[in-house]
Amino acid sequence: MSIKSEKDLEGLRKIGRIVARCLQLMQSKLEPGMTTAELDAIGGQFLASHGARSAPQLTYNFPGFTCISVNEEAAHGIPGSRVLQAGDLVNIDVSAELDGYFADTGGSAVIPPESKLYLQICAVAKQALENAMLEARAGAKLNRIGFAIEAEAVKNGLTVIENLGSHGVGRALHEEPGFIPGYYDKRDKRVLRENQVITIEPFISSGAREVFENGDGWTLMTSPGVFTAQYEHTMVITKGKPLIMTLPN
């Protein structure tokens, strides 16, 4: 999507604020003993109370309102009967639609007690997102995003999941540019345009470079004992810093 009017910007901001607050609420409710289905229901109720619809349900008939991925699950985890435990690494990805506008956000959190490894991959993923957003400006090559993410991972002895990436968003959950790698691809000649709407979502891992589907048709996994953190914002590209749409306030 490309922003063409103040109405577009306000529509995107509105749904961006809703998904950001939904993520914030769900993270605040994380505790041992609850199931991922119970956590998902909190998110679903919040979205419905604001008139928003779950984007993965709407677009892909996903069996949940949000994606909840635990420990070795990297993305697209199906909410269900899994009981959360103390020490779990939990990624929540919230995307939704309101009035024809879509926004997408996500974040990882650890249910205490936090292991040093989990804290490290979360901190590096968060910093990778910040660094990548500094590169995201009109006229810049799209591959600067992956360059920034990969550099932060390598600097800290971690890896990037290469078959997950960022994407265009706005009038649909996934738009052009269809796949923005989280690593540097010198062959990618695409250039960011002013008013373009994209997500940036680094997937930083303790050792994996790829994820694989676990057999349920959705959940993407690493190998046992290998973990991944992800943080995500939806933003509008400008000549300067991007305008972040997925902020709670």
Does 1 reside within a domain? no
Q: Which CATH number belongs to the domain containing residue 201 in this structure?
A: 3.90.230.10
**249 in any annotated domain:** no
Is 149 part of any domain? yes
Q: In what order do the strands lie in the sheet with 220-221?
A: 73-75, 220-221, 212-213
Find tokens 């995307």 and name the residue.
Answer: 95
- Distance between CA atoms of residues 170 and 125, nearest Å: 23
In a domain, 145, yes or no: yes
Distance of CA 30 to the CA centre of its chain: 18
Let me know if residue 94 belongs to a domain: yes
Q: In tens digits, what is the pLDDT along the chain, a chain of 249 residues?
A: 999 999 999 999 999 999 999 999 999 999 999 999 999 999 999 999 999 999 999 999 999 999 999 999 999 999 999 999 999 999 999 999 999 999 999 999 999 999 999 999 999 999 999 999 999 999 999 999 999 999 999 999 999 999 999 999 999 999 999 999 999 999 999 999 999 999 999 999 999 999 999 999 999 999 999 999 999 999 999 999 999 999 999
pLDDT of residue 141: 98
100 contacts 53 by C-beta, under 8 angstroms: no
Residue 217 placed within a domain: yes
Q: In the numeric block, which tokens belong to residue 136?
A: 């995201």
The pLDDT tens digits of the residues spanning 213-249 come to: 999 999 999 999 999 999 999 999 999 999 999 999 9
Does residue 167 lie in a domain region?
yes
Q: How many domains does the chain have?
A: 1
pLDDT in tens, 184-208: 999 999 999 999 999 999 999 999 9
Per the structure, the complete domain to which residue 121 belongs is given by 6-244
Residue 130 lies in a domain: yes
